[in-house]
Amino acid sequence: MQAAADTAAVAPAPAPRRATRTSRVKMMRQYDLVDRVRAYNPDTDEDLLNRAYVYAMMAHGEQKRASGDPYFSHPLEVAAILTDLKLDDATIVAALLHDTIEDTESTRAEIDQLFGPEIGALVEGLTKLKRLELVSREAKQAENLRKLLLAISDDVRVLLVKLADRLHNMRTMEFMPPASRRRIAEETLDIYAPLAGRMGMQEMREELEDLSFRILDPEAHAVVTQRLDALAERNRNLIGEIEAQLVASLKKNGISAIVKGRRKQPFSIWVKMERKSVGFEQLSDIFGFRVILNSVAECYRALGIVHTNWPVVPGRFKDYISTPKQNDYRSIHTTVIGPGNQRVELQIRTEEMDRVNEYGIAAHAFYKDGVGSPTERLKRESNAFAWLRHTVEVLSESANPEEFLEHTKMELFHDQVFCFTPKGKLIALPRYANVIDFAYAVHTDVGNSAVGCKINGKFAPLSTELQNGDEVVVLTSKAQSAPPSAWESLAVTGKAKAAIRRATRAAVRDQYAGLGRRIVERLFMRAKIAYADDKLKGALPRLARASIEDVMAAVGRGEMKASDVARAMYPDYKEEARQNVIKGAAAKAKTVEASPKSPAIPIRGINSDLPVKFAPNGGAVPGDRIVGIVTKGEGITIYPIQSLALKDFEEEPERWIDVRWDIDEAAPRRFPARLAVQNVNEPGSLAQVAGVIAEHDGNIDNIHMSRRSPDFTDLTIDLEVYDLKHLNGIISQLRAKAVVASVERVNG
């Protein structure tokens, strides 16, 4: 740890100023802080702590909190919380300074100069985004979370200071306006409490949850707390009896144990009541007991003794020692029928496990000598840190801040399931995850090429929700290079969703690039000039594109004209006569159906990965002679060759492309068409028209009616049919009706 050598740069502490209102806290003195750190770290740098104390107090000066207390009392209390976690000097100093860059005249350069770059980096990592112009509070919250997680990935101590900062703010929330209290409590419950849990810091998570619950639903908090107190009073003797019996039973078998009775927190009880729709009286695990032993071997011996003496409740056994949770939690959980026929939940663990289970990543003694930085040691020692690194990876794959926030919340809240690959590798996933999530957790390429799966030896859909202990075999195919875009809505994990979006974007880009290449090559062939990728590569700077694929994708999306590519490669290139180009395109479109070897682009309707849509005024159906128009940012619009709208594109020949129908007869699909019907005004006439369409398996999308005279109504009907033959059959049947004066197909 680096500190500034020149202690004279910091002036002595000024005389305390009188607050405008009575101070509500008694601030810790310099020597009190030093004593708290020295109690667990005899080698602490007292000079560093003293200089940081004085500097922070002077920097905040006369700033006040909402309570009227000196603002410096806040960073001081944050530091005190971290001394309870026995953290190193740099973390304590960062806590003292954590608001200086944000709220005072201090700068990162000054912090680096006085306290060293290590502490400077910690303080900067804690500084919130300032003057951020975002459209919503959710977006700002997401961006702050992004910065926090990125800072944590560099040094995990940033998280510890941030959690302590939030904890002290929650403890003093009564001085804030009600709206602010609620907003901060919601954010704490959404982000910080689950994040503390993910990092294994259960004690801090529970306090954050309880403080938030007290603000967000004070009535429910009061009721649950009252019921808990009453239940504890009634069962006081029973709890003591259970503790004594456990200690005696284990001692009889040569095992020395510490047994602690513990009741669940109000928030966790409330959540369980809400989730399972049960009353307070129906909960059977309000009280639990921790059995703390000296070794792992004693844990399993104690489990055998407990199961021998008391009946086991089926389905209530979990071994987190052999299979730890992702946040490093290790313990054996079992529920037995104890004295008085009471259900008793036992958590059997060693003393070291108990410390890690309570304090998580903070349980790693940063102040002790070790190889590498605290974050480097955590990478080696902590499974919880692996989740954090994975979450940071998702940062670069999220399309927008709100999307990242949504996925991070989802992974924070969900409990976990543990599944296995055929080779026995453990894969931890959020609860409710399915095989798609599993496949992407194994490897992105496995997810992208997944086509099926076996769960515990049986074939199952990829959307199957996984359970603890499932062995999953993912079946892949080289023929599938990109997953269906619909998988994104099925996936649960942020990693899977991000990978699917990325693969889908790449597939669509490849489609556009393929389309653009065909358009460019057709123009070059028509102009009788040579095309070569090498020549285009030399022209990339003139087109302001980084690669040939970027150029082709831009042409395919309609963002660049094929003639621009030709001019970049051949500066003397001149466009052909436009009308000749248009006539040639139309002629080719008329003959494309008869030529199975035509270079025209096949279409599969509106569900293609390459965006394809139909003419807005009249559509197109199989059997029509068609032409495609490239629309910037929208893909290809399909028009019947007789459409009057094609006149609008006569001046833009590069946008015309040859297309043909590619219909799967085994899977019939409907296509859009429009009819103009002149109907006689009499009761039931509209029903007769609709009846004809329904009887002949047509589907009406929309009907527009306008009265042209007392005797006739004009109907514009948008419908869906299978092909031109189907459409003509409906038109013939409508013309045969007495209530129909005329019917014509619309080709706008």
Question: Where in the sequence numbering do the catalytic residues fall?
Answer: 102-103
Phi, psi of 714 (to 5 degrees): -90, 125
Opening angle at CA 560, ends 558 and 562, nearest 5? 100
- Residue 229: CB atoms within 10 Å: 11
- Residue 313: CB atoms within 10 Å: 16
- Residue 109: CB atoms within 10 Å: 9
- In contact, 535 and 542? CB cutoff 8 Å: no
- In contact, 585 and 658? CB cutoff 8 Å: yes
- In contact, 422 and 442? CB cutoff 8 Å: no
What is the side-by-side strand order in the sheet with 699-707? 699-707, 712-721, 671-680, 740-745
- In contact, 222 and 323? CB cutoff 8 Å: no
DSSP string, 251-267: HHTT---EEEEEEPPHH
Distance CA 678, CA 472 (A): 62
Distance CA 257, CA 249 (A): 10
Distance CA 713, CA 730 (A): 19
Phi, psi of 657 (to 5 degrees): -135, 150
> In which residue are the tokens 């500097």 written?
55
Distance CA 409, CA 391 (A): 11
Strands 287-293 and 343-350: parallel
Phi, psi of 294 (to 5 degrees): -95, -20
Cβ neighbours for 466, distance < 8 A, ≥ 6 positions apart: 417, 419, 429, 433, 434, 435, 437, 438, 455, 472
Cβ neighbours for 558, distance < 8 A, ≥ 6 positions apart: 630, 631, 632, 633, 634, 655
Of all helices (H) and strands (E), which one includes residue 301? helix 296-309
Cβ neighbours for 194, distance < 8 A, ≥ 6 positions apart: 205, 409, 412, 413
Using DSSP's 3-state secondary structure scheme, residue 637 falls into strand
Residue type, 708: R
Using DSSP's 3-state secondary structure scheme, residue 343 falls into strand
- Residue 56: CB atoms within 10 Å: 23
Phi, psi of 258 (to 5 degrees): -105, 125
DSSP string, 36-72: HHHTT-TT--HHHHHHHHHHHHHHHTT-B-TTSSBTT
CA dihedral for 558, 563, 567, 570, sign (positive or negative) = positive
N-to-C CA span, the chain:
75
Tokens for 347?
A: 């958590």
Structure letter (DSSP) for residue 642: T
Tokens for 428?
A: 């931890």
Tokens for 433?
A: 């995850």
Distance CA 362, CA 71 (A): 26
Residue type, 367: Y
- In contact, 163 and 206? CB cutoff 8 Å: no
Cβ neighbours for 319, distance < 8 A, ≥ 6 positions apart: 332, 333
Percent helix / strand / coil, the chain, rounded to 5: 50, 15, 35
Residue type, 542: R
